[in-house]
Amino acid sequence: MASALHALIAASFGPAAADEWRQFEPKKDDRDKLASAGVEVLKAFPGRTPGACALMSAVFSVVLENKVAQRGYVVAGSLYVGSARVFGEDSTLDGKARFSQSELSWDGHAWLVFGNLLADISIFRTADSGKGQPALAAHVHEVYGRGKGLMICPSDDTGGLRYVPEYVLTQEQVDALYRGARRLIVGN
């Protein structure tokens, strides 16, 4: 996954940003700030709403940006439990077009990468909602339990979930999703 992510980050942010991401190894303070940013976002999005992964991940990225110097990248793609795809599409994701639309209709998943860490702010809420894929809910509940908030793990140890990156959102796309989320959260 690391080489695919490097290429996707380079496509959206340039080769220097991709190289910086590859070399960044979060220290304990960085991981603590990542967790703190995630908790802030979870508090801003109450309830167990499924299907908000892109919005929540964009907000997570922006909140994290205010806490640390290193960027967290919003990644879009497919998610598998074992060999079963629970989010994603058969067609190739044209993220540049898809995430530049105001009406986002998409069956994939979004998460954050922060150096060698993967942070998924919405997976537990989707699993607990009763509206997601039964295979995802069964796996999450068996491995992690119910009522969890934020998954942060090494990107090569995701507890039996397989994240397949297909696109890294540009800063403009993240900012647009963030503005949309703020309107939902604060009603402006």
pLDDT confidence tier of residue 188, bands split at 50, 70 and 90 = very low
A 10 A CB-CB count for 188 gives 7
Query: What local confidence, expressed as pLDDT, does residue 52 receive?
Result: 84
Report pTM.
Answer: 0.91
Question: pLDDT tens digit string along 24-69?
Answer: 999 999 999 999 999 999 998 877 666 788 899 999 999 999 999 8
Question: pLDDT tens digit string along 135-179?
Answer: 999 999 999 999 888 999 999 999 999 999 999 999 999 998 898
| HEC per residue, 154-171 | ECCCCCCEEEEEEEECCH
- CA triplet 5, 99, 102: central angle to 5 degrees? 165
Q: Using alpha carbons, list the distances in angstroms from residue 160 to 116, 138, 144.
A: 17, 12, 11
